[in-house]
């Protein structure tokens, strides 16, 4: 269970970074 939770957190973190990068480039 712990390993699955860690994997999910990593995937979510990657998605957040991928989404925020274009916004920071266009917004700023």
Taking the domains of the chain in order of start, what are their residue ranges? 1-28
Q: Distance between CA atoms of 28 and 10, rounded to whole angstroms?
A: 26
Contacts of 13 (CB under 8 A, 6+ apart): none
pLDDT of residue 28: 55
pLDDT of residue 12: 97
Q: Which residues of the chain have pLDDT under 50?
A: none
Share of the chain above pLDDT 70, in %: 79
24 CB-contact burial (10 Å; exposed 0-12 / middle 13-18 / buried 19+)? exposed
- What Rg do the C-alpha atoms of the chain give, in angstroms? 12
Q: Distance between CA atoms of 21 and 13, rounded to whole angstroms?
A: 12
pLDDT of residue 22: 75
């Amino acid at each position: 269970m712990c390993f699955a939770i860690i994997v999910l957190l990593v995937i979510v973190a990657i998605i957040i970074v991928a989404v925020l990068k274009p916004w920071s480039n266009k917004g700023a």
